[in-house]
Structure 1
């Protein structure tokens, strides 16, 4: 199902909305107050001040909210995670109780806001859990500061420039992406509740599950001076965000840390994982039944359970970490299906890949073959993991370095062996004869192009 089709499932009929508007709000309340064991701090970072809630002890987890809410949305999950995590929950730039801000809403810039908070709180690495606009900031942190992010949870919203972004923009339900500016702010001023109710109603599986006390709470926060301006500016930055993300992915490749993509069954659903597979090599999918976009309000228990299970899974617990028992004859390997470029391959379209064991996109050992046609060049690049390779057939020309013209190239035939140490630039090519090369490593693997250096 296409992403636009998934998004259409947000919509309710006009008659249904009218009926709901006439009914009393649900008596159920979603708490927005954090446990009294949490403290709040006003943290100066990257030219602004963020309001941050902090509690618990253990590995750090940073939680980023979206539009129509503030960091208060995470209160129930934060209380659970604080049992074995240090939980860090900021209000995004200009939103909630953070300082007013007129500019700086590009997500690459807001990533620096969050890194500054982590630095102040002495959190060199953290899991990040995000929703809606928070997804976009989280992706910017994970891409530009990958060494700081251990795991990433993204919930029910796209990331500008990643996957089917242009198709998503065409959906009429997302008209608010282009709604903003001084006149729009004047139109909404004093009517913040009316404006926000549209999102809470249309993007829910059942609007009654976004409780009245939470609506009152968020509407009051968004009615404060400068808050709707900050919300509109988050959307206005999308064009630049898409440019920034496409450029980063082109230069560096997909994210390497494990990613959990969570979609509401009546909203993005499995399309959330499909979007993220365009931006990350290790993506797990969760679809929350009975929920639309507002997962923490509509299905808090199921959503929290999915997130906690993912965050608490530690390396070594999964069977995929181990090399499975495999015996294949040459005839069997030659008969296995071939695919195009994948994780850990050079990305050259003409090369065909056979995955013999494991999965280079995920943690654990893997073995793959590349079938390279004649007169094919693989430009200088690096891989994250250490790999070893054996030439199975043909003639293979291999060298280390970031410039082919300056490097020593060795001609290798069947039985030839070489290594690809992690982070070391190397390149290869064939001439009149093609080659088959078998590679093994321990994932997750990736491929990062290396700009050629000038010849001396």
Structure 2
């Protein structure tokens, strides 16, 4: 594995392009050759979080890394933050790139988008990796909502936008500090980088809208589950040791038949900042042959 520098910069052999899809425009990084893998980021980060993993996987994969609707350098429409909609955005990106089947790797809010993509297009996913965030309406969702750590799920609206305007870094520091095993591992370079992106016009509104849509997401997911449907592709459910841990697998076993579980040791929620080597090794092994050579397999 090449050395990890901690930078969020993609190498020059990755191209960045704007792709119009589903009524919006996504900023998408593409590099490498081989079977396609899509990496979906979460809140308080952008597709830049995946740079070290993208570099590694691009040795033998075509790696596709979008900024989700409303975040990073993607457009920031007023609507469409229920997770069905960005899942359709991703389908449009793949159509533009001429990609049919993919491996799908996601973290945080990206998990929720990836889940809906898997619901809508199960035949297109070879393997699915979901890292350290629950799925609305699936498994112990109602119990998870009771955690006082998750007060931000209900934080949003015009007044909240006014409260954080010009103070984006302060608001985001709360996530990076409280959800880390060691906040120092979410370094200053990363904090400055993401705070600047979330200070772009419309970005905080779009971020709040991701959470405001959770009730709709839960209803959509429960309606799908009520039909008796299940995910059939191999699923790797990953938790940070100091975060979701094995709960990630509990969530996914409520909706999927073939669930492997693993824990990233010595890490909180921000696995690509806190323990990127273990995370990359784990994902690479699972995508290659279903093995759990990285992290702490259980």
1:198 equivalent among 174, 179, 182: 174
How far apart, in 2, do the equivalents of 1:32 and 1:218 lie? 10
Match status 1:291 vs 2:267: yes
How far apart, in 1, do the equivalents of 2:233 and 2:273 lie? 27
Please name the residue that 1:58 is paired with: 34
Match status 1:254 vs 2:233: no
Q: CA RMSD in A?
A: 1.3
Runs of 4+ in 1 over 6 A off after TM superposition: none
Alignment of 1:416-431 (within 5 A): none
1:181 equivalent among 146, 149, 157: 157
| Matched-pair contact (CA < 8 Å) for 1:118–1:124 | yes
Structure 1 or 2: larger helix share?
2
2:139 equivalent among 160, 163, 180: 163
The Cα of 1:252 is off from its aligned counterpart by 4.2
1:212 equivalent among 181, 185, 188: 188
TM-score relative to the length of structure 1: 0.62
The Cα of 1:29 is off from its aligned counterpart by 6.0
Match status 1:305 vs 2:281: yes
Whose Rg is larger? 1
Aligned length: 289
What runs of 5+ residues in structure 2 fail to find an aligned partner?
293-298
How far apart, in 2, do the equivalents of 1:71 and 1:256 lie? 27
Alignment of 1:253-272 (within 5 A): 253-272=229-248
How far apart, in 2, do the equivalents of 1:150 and 1:244 lie? 23
Please name the residue that 1:39 is paired with: 15
2:205 equivalent among 213, 229, 234: 229
The Cα of 1:125 is off from its aligned counterpart by 0.8
Alignment of 1:442-453 (within 5 A): none
How far apart, in 2, do the equivalents of 1:45 and 1:69 lie? 21
Match status 1:138 vs 2:114: yes
The Cα of 1:148 is off from its aligned counterpart by 1.2
The Cα of 1:47 is off from its aligned counterpart by 0.3
| Matched-pair contact (CA < 8 Å) for 1:29–1:214 | no
Once the two structures are superposed, residues 376-397 of structure 1 have per-residue CA deviations (whole angstroms, 9 ceiling, x without a partner) of xxxxxxxxxxxxxxxxxxxxxx
What runs of 5+ residues in structure 1 fail to find an aligned partner?
1-27, 319-456
The Cα of 1:30 is off from its aligned counterpart by 1.8
Please name the residue that 2:99 is paired with: 123
| Matched-pair contact (CA < 8 Å) for 1:264–1:292 | yes
The Cα of 1:38 is off from its aligned counterpart by 0.2
Once the two structures are superposed, residues 204-261 of structure 1 have per-residue CA deviations (whole angstroms, 9 ceiling, x without a partner) of 0000111110000000000010000110000000000000000111114210000001
Structure 1 or 2: larger strand share?
1
How far apart, in 2, do the equivalents of 1:253 and 1:99 lie? 33
Structure of greater relative contact order (alpha carbons < 8 Å, 6+ residues apart): 2
Please name the residue that 1:91 is paired with: 67
How far apart, in 1, do the equivalents of 2:218 and 2:120 lie? 14
The Cα of 1:279 is off from its aligned counterpart by 1.2
How far apart, in 2, do the equivalents of 1:31 and 1:121 lie? 26
The Cα of 1:100 is off from its aligned counterpart by 1.7
